[in-house]
Structure 1
Amino acid sequence: MSVLATVALSGCKKFLEHQPDDRSELNTPVKVAELLANAYPHGNYIPFAEAMSDNAGDKGNRSGNAIDITNESPWKYEDQVDAQLADTPPYYWNACYKAISAANYALEAIEKGGNTEAYMASKGEALVARAYSHFMLVTFFSKAYDPATAASDPGIPYVTTPQKTVEGSYRRGTVAEVYAQIEKDLEEGIPLIRNNTYRVPKYHFTTQAAHAFATRFYLFKKDYLKVVDHANAVFPGTTVAASLRPWNTTYNALGYYELQALYTNSSEPANLLIQESATSWGTSYAEYNYSLSSEVQKIFNPANNPIKRALAISSKVFGGTEFFLNIPKFRNHIVKETINASFGEFYNMIPLLTAEEVLFNRAEANVMLGDNAAAVNDMDAYLSKRIVNYSATAMKFTEAKAMAFFPGMDVKDALVGSILNFKRQEYMHEGIRWFDIIRLKIPITHPYISGGEVITLGANDPRRVIQLPQEAIALGLEKNAR
């Protein structure tokens, strides 16, 4: 099938611009390590993931605000088809398979090099990076993992060899098969990673970032004990609170552009893995018609969380008017072709994995394991970095507060609901909310502010699964149901 092969071969384009198109040139550990800079998807999933979620409302400005298909189509749950258009699912599909291609070429070179100790750190990075891209693909383009149906639900092609011809044989397999391969790559890769091999560790899978990814994977897989085990590896000793963004102190004192510069910076300890992406998200997310609206902004009201206290992030909603509401988390970087060029391409740094997500994942997993006390401790650590003038007594998170906020729920559901409540606020503009929506089958409504049609997405709506790119369907892959 040519679509995957073409994508795979183009994945190493930047590398090949500086090397002959001869794979025997990948003959040293240094060259393999350099290739792995391309083993991460350089596409941005946030624009469509955020628009599909309940973090996006209709601002109602049909004429003055940006109506862009990269924003409007996912908000309406319409299939997008242009694989050349950045910030769309087809573009992200291609970006992931390009990353997978780079990982596979590196693994082939390591095999040819004899799997010596000098290659082992790169082998670990390649395996975990390959697992990550496949996980993101199966998460967006297949049904969320369900033990009862995973063995029959269509997955995505798990590519483990370099694609050297334009023709090939590919199959979607099942979600269960994809998850088994992801787990295999993770278990083999994590022990091999060596952090001291990286010049800028935050741009690579360090051991901490790899364990963070594992917490996300195992939360989807519902293997809660492994979520906790991997989260504990991210937070050694008593460093949990110190690993989180200091929203109620340092962040609270920052101005718009200062916060924008810091949030995705590699110097921020909470950023465990960041990656550049070809995207204009840093400008567009504040201007999109379907994004943070005044109605959605109500989630930040103190009355709308179990502690009844405003999180510091709520004071960092800027914009002045309905049409430009945003929290300054991202900024565009312009890369020019030449020094004298008058224009260039937009790039953003995207936090792929953060310490806060690990904490939320561990807290939820502990609730599911019946260790409510551990979950409460994690949420207290979180709130200690989120509420201005935090008091460990007056503002303590408790089971009783969770159940009072979710009347009629048992303690387990109330605790999980509370965790998700804070997590939704935390990840405004970052697309993470969509993962919880599909994982837990949370219903969504997208009402138009001007009245009339209300777009609904039920628990089992097939539009929760993004359609495969047209090129992939045309060349033989089974399309998703509609």
Structure 2
Amino acid sequence: MKKSIIYLLGIAIVIPAFMSCSDFLDQNPDLRTTLDSEEKIANILVSAYISGAGSYQLVAELSSDNVCDYGITKNYNQFYQDVYEWAEEVTSNNDAPRNIWSSNYNNIANANQALSAIEELGGPTTTRLKASKGEALICRAYSHFVLANMFCMPYNPATAGNCLGIPYMDHAETDLNPRYERGTLQKVYEMIGKDIEAGIPLIDDTAYSVPKYHFNYKAACCFASRYYLFMQDWDNAIKYATMALTSNPSSLLRDYSAIAALPNGTSRHQEYVNSASTANFLLQAATSNSGLLFDWYSTAGRYSHGKLQGIYETVQPKKGGPWGSSVTFKAPHAVLASSGKYVLPRTWRVFQYTDPVAGTGFNKAISVLFTSEEALLNRAEAYIMKMNEDPTALDKALEDINLYAANLFSAGFKSMTEASIIKWATETYPDYSELYVGKTSVSSPQTLNPKKKLHAAPYNTLEEDGPQESMLQALIFMRRYQFLHEGMRWFDTRRFGITVYRYLLDEDAETVVQITDQISDENGTADPRRALQLPADVIAAGLTPNPRK
């Protein structure tokens, strides 16, 4: 008997155990069947965040241009190879697309169950019920947003009405065998926006014992700014980023000196995700191997962020970033001699033992989903896109990116100006053809440059090397640095239509043997692999697969 789509959407009757706010390694019993009090409704909402398998970050990062193939002698397994090669079907793994799908729909089911229970209690008539309703709406919106950006094509106002969406679950399901349609991406985004706008006014940070593990007010506003940025709604992106940053953004900057004071290694990662940091708005604990991949370990060293990207495009490009080449980072990157990875402290790995005697268990990855740095960069990008209609937008964008950048460095930083950024963006970069075996594999002079061609609308209509496009290039570079190892680069390559190359490297981790594949929109059409394929069992149950031609 064919499984019903309700199961395949990840909203089966059994809901996973949920994470305690005070200790992300604690587990509490499921309360779904007896949601008859404010406390139980608040408790089940802890299950509306990913704590089990299904974090998108590892798959998104391995899909992006932040990794390349460092050779078969490095550690890897079939799952990492499948993701790196954009395979249609991916080997089973805690981080696999199928778990991203099912976990997010389970989160949505829990949010919907809480919303249904609130209505059964007479509606949000108390302060706590109002806060729970706001949290549930934002959790529902966020999980749909993740699903849309992993399994749908990039949002563009001109094409979203013709792109496949994902089922938007806006109520607790009671039908034993419901039938779902994917609808359009436009409709999904409209529903996400509706939930965001209804949810944010209800958020109440005093309802949480540990707000950083919930959609608190700053986190919800930062999410809203990301949503509107992806929608190309610049005014609302600015509005919500400003709400997240408050009137004093400098008070929310990360203490990189505290990170730098720690021994190079895991302790820096732990400090980066510290819930006490004013820069961290929302933390996530997931059953994931991302902490292994993006730390000192040799795990998946074959498909990683290493020397090639580090010295040509991201951490220390040959001619420097838009902030110049003479800067000294407060907390510099680590070059890992054993694995060859270039690593920034972003994700903290915690091993949770199931049998301490046998030494068995599983990896938890603690990461930050929303930060003050993102809010600053979101707002700066929106200001850049308004430069031609708002005479003050340039100065506001420069103020934000200089505030962001100055906090990274201990020495050598000079405030960026329009002129200095244009100089950086328009500099002639070599094509680095000397890095290619036989010098016959170079397909574009853009392949190893920090600056990338933008093929998606409206960014491809900006005057190349003009002030606005140069400013945007600098902003995209900063985003790539800030979100390294966190998966956001995959979303940005989709949004901007940036070509993603697949390099096979020689043993020196720098010489390119071959460009084995690429995702490109250069012909004017978005590559269909920008969207992950739906899980095979979901397709078998009746949902339309993503086209591949």
Q: TM-score normalised to the size of structure 1?
A: 0.93
- The range that moved more, 8-17 or 305-314, is 8-17
Whole-angstrom CA distance in 2 between matches of 1:8 and 1:139: 20
Structure with the higher fraction of residues in helix conformation: 1
Question: Is it true that 1:88 corresponds to 2:89 in the alignment?
Answer: no
Question: Is it true that 1:305 corresponds to 2:321 in the alignment?
Answer: yes
2:75 corresponds to? 66
C-alpha distance after superposition, 1:108-137 (max 9, x if no partner) = 000101112241110000000000000010
Residues 316-327 of structure 1: pairs in structure 2 closer than 5 A: 316-321=333-338, 323-327=340-344
1:469 corresponds to? 535
Residues 260-409 of structure 1: pairs in structure 2 closer than 5 A: 260-286=269-295, 287=298, 288=300, 289-298=302-311, 299-301=314-316, 303-309=319-325, 310=327, 312=329, 315-321=332-338, 323-337=340-354, 342-370=359-387, 371-389=393-411, 395-407=414-426, 409=465
Whole-angstrom CA distance in 2 between matches of 1:321 and 1:280: 19
CA contact (8 A) 1:317 1:327 kept: yes
Judged with a 3 Å threshold, the aligned counterparts in structure 2 of structure 1 residues 389 and 98 are, in CA distance, closer, same or farther, namely same
CA drift of 1:349 comes to 1.2
2:453 corresponds to? none
**Selected match of 1:132 from 109, 126, 142:** 142
CA drift of 1:76 comes to 1.2
CA contact (8 A) 2:291 2:365 kept: yes
SS of equivalent to 2:103 = helix
2:173 corresponds to? 163
Whole-angstrom CA distance in 1 between matches of 2:354 and 2:338: 36
Whole-angstrom CA distance in 1 between matches of 2:107 and 2:199: 16
SS of equivalent to 1:477 = coil
Unaligned runs of 5+ in 1: none
Residues 140-289 of structure 1: pairs in structure 2 closer than 5 A: 140-238=150-248, 240-247=249-256, 249-255=257-263, 256-286=265-295, 287=298, 288=300, 289=302
**Selected match of 2:469 from 413, 422, 426:** 413
Identity within the alignment, %: 31
Judged with a 3 Å threshold, the aligned counterparts in structure 2 of structure 1 residues 125 and 340 are, in CA distance, closer, same or farther, namely same
CA drift of 1:419 comes to 0.7
Question: Is it true that 1:479 corresponds to 2:545 in the alignment?
Answer: yes
Whole-angstrom CA distance in 2 between matches of 1:301 and 1:135: 32
Whole-angstrom CA distance in 2 between matches of 1:291 and 1:345: 21
CA drift of 1:325 comes to 3.5
1:123 corresponds to? 133
Whole-angstrom CA distance in 2 between matches of 1:173 and 1:167: 19
CA contact (8 A) 1:171 1:477 kept: yes
Across the aligned residues of Structure 1 and Structure 2, the Cα RMSD in angstroms comes to: 2.1
Whole-angstrom CA distance in 2 between matches of 1:4 and 1:401: 55
**Selected match of 2:499 from 443, 452, 458:** 443
**Selected match of 2:111 from 103, 125, 136:** 103
Judged with a 3 Å threshold, the aligned counterparts in structure 2 of structure 1 residues 157 and 308 are, in CA distance, closer, same or farther, namely same
CA drift of 1:339 comes to 6.1
CA contact (8 A) 2:16 2:30 kept: no
**Selected match of 2:43 from 34, 40, 57:** 34
Whole-angstrom CA distance in 2 between matches of 1:119 and 1:76: 46
CA drift of 1:345 comes to 2.0
C-alpha distance after superposition, 1:419-447 (max 9, x if no partner) = 11111112211111111110111111111
SS of equivalent to 1:429 = coil
Question: Runs of at least 4 residues of structure 1 off by over 4 A?
Answer: 338-341
CA drift of 1:245 comes to 1.9
CA contact (8 A) 1:48 1:87 kept: yes
2:441 corresponds to? none
CA contact (8 A) 2:284 2:368 kept: yes
CA contact (8 A) 2:5 2:180 kept: no
C-alpha distance after superposition, 1:235-263 (max 9, x if no partner) = 1112x23312233x332322223212211
Given residue 194 of structure 2, which amino acid in structure 1 is its aligned partner?
K
Whole-angstrom CA distance in 1 between matches of 2:380 and 2:516: 34
SS of equivalent to 1:106 = helix
Given residue 404 of structure 1, which amino acid in structure 2 is its aligned partner?
K
CA drift of 1:51 comes to 1.1
Judged with a 3 Å threshold, the aligned counterparts in structure 2 of structure 1 residues 438 and 363 are, in CA distance, closer, same or farther, namely same
CA contact (8 A) 1:142 1:153 kept: yes
2:15 corresponds to? 12
C-alpha distance after superposition, 1:195-242 (max 9, x if no partner) = 00101100100111000000110001000000000011011112x233
SS of equivalent to 2:486 = coil
Given residue 465 of structure 2, which amino acid in structure 1 is its aligned partner?
M
Given residue 398 of structure 1, which amino acid in structure 2 is its aligned partner?
T
CA contact (8 A) 1:384 1:390 kept: no
Unaligned runs of 5+ in 2: 19-26, 388-392, 427-463, 507-512
Judged with a 3 Å threshold, the aligned counterparts in structure 2 of structure 1 residues 314 and 339 are, in CA distance, closer, same or farther, namely closer
SS of equivalent to 2:514 = coil
SS of equivalent to 1:315 = coil
**Selected match of 2:488 from 432, 442, 452:** 432
SS of equivalent to 2:105 = helix
Given residue 475 of structure 2, which amino acid in structure 1 is its aligned partner?
I
CA drift of 1:321 comes to 4.4
Whole-angstrom CA distance in 2 between matches of 1:220 and 1:147: 10
Given residue 257 of structure 1, which amino acid in structure 2 is its aligned partner?
T
- The range that moved more, 171-180 or 280-289, is 280-289
Whole-angstrom CA distance in 2 between matches of 1:58 and 1:245: 33
State how many pairs are aligned.
472
Q: TM-score normalised to the size of structure 2?
A: 0.82
Judged with a 3 Å threshold, the aligned counterparts in structure 2 of structure 1 residues 134 and 20 are, in CA distance, closer, same or farther, namely closer
Whole-angstrom CA distance in 2 between matches of 1:127 and 1:426: 28
CA drift of 1:30 comes to 0.4
